[in-house]
């Protein structure tokens, strides 16, 4: 991957992926694991420094590189910067649609459990 494509990938990630939510979830998960496994506070701080949003972005870059061209990235950035695109990236919209997927998964699991009995 060349520098120009990496630039566009990183810009796409920063503009189009709800990073604040991921960062909050990551820190919440580290805190939860720390309490669950009785990890000392200083070790938790080390983990928070190790698993950063920058690390997350670095891990996303090769995946996005695999599926998107520079033109795809530019078009996506343009769309997600529009009013319609901003609505799709809205945290509450993403939460609500995620709930639907979770509920459907639970319904499907329930149906399978009934069939087994």
Alpha helix (H) ranges present in 41-90? 41-50, 53-67, 70-81, 83-88
Quote the pLDDT of residue 19. 63
Cβ distance 5 to 65 under 8 Å? Answer: yes
CB-CB neighbours of 73 under 10 Å: 22
Model confidence at 33: pLDDT above 70: yes
Quote the pLDDT of residue 105. 85
Quote the pLDDT of residue 18. 65
Cα–Cα distance for residue pair 45/43, rounded to 1 Å: 5
Quote the pLDDT of residue 111. 80
In the structure encoding, which two tokens stand for residue 30, read together? 């580290």
**Quick one: DSSP state of residue 38?**
T
**Quick one: DSSP state of residue 40?**
-
Per-residue model confidence as pLDDT tens digits over 34-83: 888 888 888 888 888 888 888 888 999 999 999 999 999 999 999 988 99
Per-residue model confidence as pLDDT tens digits over 69-106: 999 999 999 998 899 988 887 777 878 888 888 898 88
């Amino acid at each position: 991957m060349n520098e120009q494509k990496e630039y566009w990938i990183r810009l796409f990630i920063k503009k189009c992926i709800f990073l604040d939510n991921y960062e909050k979830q990551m820190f919440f998960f580290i805190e939860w694991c720390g309490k669950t496994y009785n990890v000392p506070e200083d070790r938790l701080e080390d983990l928070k420094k190790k698993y950063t949003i920058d690390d997350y972005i670095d891990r996303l870059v090769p995946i996005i590189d695999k599926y998107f061209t520079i033109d795809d990235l530019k078009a996506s950035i343009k769309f997600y910067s529009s009013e319609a695109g901003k609505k799709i990236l809205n945290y509450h919209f993403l939460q609500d649609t995620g709930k639907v997927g979770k509920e459907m998964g639970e319904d499907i699991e329930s149906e399978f459990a009934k069939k087994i009995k």
